[in-house]
Structure 1
Amino acid sequence: MTTKRPLYDCHVNVWDPEQYLPVYHEQLARVRPGGLPPASDADTLARELARFERVIVFSPQYGDSIGIQGAEETTAAAVAKYPEKFVGFAYVDPRRPGYMEQLRHSVEQLKFKGVKFGPIYNGVGLDDPRMQPVYAYCQANDVPLTLHMGTTFPPKSRIELGRPLHVDPVALAYPDLKIIMAHMGHPWTAEAAVIVRKNPNVYGEITGLCYRPWILQKCLAEIQDYSIADKVFFGTDFPFSTFDEAVDGLLVCSQDHDSPRVPSVSAEVIDTILYSNPFEKWWHAPI
């Protein structure tokens, strides 16, 4: 691919090899026999995502669900090594003692620029009282919150916690909090689209959908129908998809299709998403 303008990756996982637990490989083999790239450390990311101008990285702590237990220190080390490339987001797990102290340390001392949270992985719903200080802190400090919304494969996860509809009350209660729904809440992409359209402070992103071609095609048609392409962002979800997989998966959706049941998506919509820049919209003041 030859890019016309800078590309930005809004969603990348950084993990060191020792943070992968045996249960991760066991579960992944059940749903994705081909496996994934074996590494997602800072050097691998810098090499594999070299064509992106800037990359948002975080190290989720999914040890008791997916089986990868990241750490804030992993993100901090990646950003320190590649400060011109990587922008760090904290990960918050409200089940852990001192989670707000850790969040404040990550933002105020480690200088992370945003927060990631996966309700479906940590078993804490968006309406849980433990999340309220997270929302309040992020809103007060202009810290965007990326939420994993949508399905997943670990058997222990509660699928219902990934429904995009749960974002709506949060957006209403915290109108100055910038909220990003990762993966457009798939397979509930229509829910995600209407919530993005309804709430000025809510955005979507399409990471991880390139290997679900029908869902991606449908999702892009919904984005087009609701005229929200300017609020939807591009990325890889590396290591779950590579640069080429993510870009090619998006570009193929603008090609002509023979079947009338496959909705067409304009090249303008594809272009708007592909060249989206989160650093201009996710903060009240661009970073």
Structure 2
Amino acid sequence: MTVIDFNSRPPIPAFDGAGAAHLRNYRRVYEGSEAQVRDAAGSDPLGSYLAAYDRVGARHVVVKAKDVETTFGIKVDNEAVAAFCRAHSPRFIGWAGVDPHKGEAAVRELEVAVRELGLRGLNLQCFEHRLAINDPRLYPLYRKCVELDVPVNIHCGINFSTDCLMEHGRPLLLDQVLVEVPGLRVVASPPGWPWVHELIGVAWRHPNLSIAVSAVRPKLLATPGSGYEGLLQYGNTVLQDRILFGTSYPMQPIERAVQEVLQLPLKDSVRDKWLHGNAARFLGVSA
């Protein structure tokens, strides 16, 4: 078995920020699974984290910077992400985070992160920026991603921060962005709930849009009434080449998430695509 985890947060101080006040409601929603992660980690969270990826055969793991200084005073530095990836090379791949409210400075920071630090994409948590996906302030960053030939990760669907608007993650807004910036490669993560079919429709229209099943238990895709069932249906057929897997660790245990994907009623070839093949192609790495 080979795995690529598209969304993970290492348990080290440089990646802190999940405990911020504006994300306090996330801790309520993910209380059970995060407690399970903490209990398993014991006194050596980083060692436990790295060992879990050894056990599941993780080829690569994507870790992301984040800059929401303007709105919430928090920044996970691009330099810290790059340093972690160097220290744990070649498994870990870093993505940049910049603050769109900083205008041209953010565009320059993205260029430095890609050209000098070796980061491989841009992470935008639009709800934390308090910006809709199609806000004009994001377009200079979208265009810079096209120029640099790197993809962008866009938070899509519900967020649990009651300091932010849920509407800022509406999948339909991606359609306008992809029409107006046609060369942009996007991964929507998490996968759009409660507008899952809306996201599927946008992805069906735009072949440069992928969907990451992250921050949600994979078993829910096969649970009647969950609202995620469309991802299983379309992800097993017309969108089978554009579904990526992500644990969103520490929101859920790594090994449990992998096992739940293995138990989904997917074609064997499609399961392999979900777990590593699609992400390898998207990231431009060996499968």
Q: What is the DSSP-based 3-state SS (H/G/I as helix, E as strand, rest coil) of the residue aligned with 1:161? A: helix
RMSD (Å), alpha carbons = 3.0
Structure 2 partner of 1:52: 58
Equivalent residue letter for 2:114? V
| Structure 2 CA distance for aligned equivalents of residues 117 and 210 of structure 1 | 22
Q: How far apart, CA to CA, are the structure 2 residues paired with 1:15 and 1:90?
A: 18
Q: Using a 3 Å threshold, how does the CA distance of structure 1 residues 119 and 44 change in structure 2: closer, same or farther?
A: farther
| In 2, Cα distance between equivalents of 1:172 and 1:22 | 35
Partner of 2:97: 91
The structure with the greater share of residues assigned to helix is 2
**Greater relative CO (CA pairs within 8 A, separation 6+):** 2
Q: Which of 26, 31, 34 matches 2:32?
A: 34
* 5, 8, 12: which one aligns with 2:4: 8
Q: What residue number does 1:246 align with?
A: 257
Matched, 1:279 2:286: no
Alignment of 1:1-287 (within 5 A): 3=1, 6-14=2-10, 16-17=12-13, 19-20=16-17, 21=19, 23=21, 26-34=24-32, 36=34, 37-38=37-38, 45-50=49-54, 51-61=57-67, 69-96=75-102, 98-210=105-217, 213=220, 214=223, 215=226, 216-224=228-236, 227-254=238-265, 266-282=267-283
TM-score, length of structure 2 as denominator length: 0.82
The CA deviation at 1:75 is 0.6
Rounded to whole Å, the distance in 1 between the matches of 2:23 and 2:207 is: 39
Cα separation, 2, equivalents of 1:60 and 1:22: 13
TM superposition outliers: structure 1 runs of 4+ over 6 Å = 39-42, 63-68
Q: CA contact under 8 A between 2:170 and 2:195: conserved in structure 1?
A: yes
Q: Which runs of 5+ in 2 are unaligned?
A: none
**Structure 1: 5+ residue runs without aligned partners?**
255-264
User: What are the superposed Cα offsets for residues 85-107 of structure 1, whole Å, 9 maximum, x if unpaired?
Assistant: 11110012212362122111111
Q: CA deviation at 1:61?
A: 3.7
Q: Judging changes above 3 Å, is the alpha-carbon distance between structure 1 residues 25 and 122 closer, same or farther for their aligned structure 2 residues?
A: closer
- Displacement of 1:282 after TM fit? 4.7
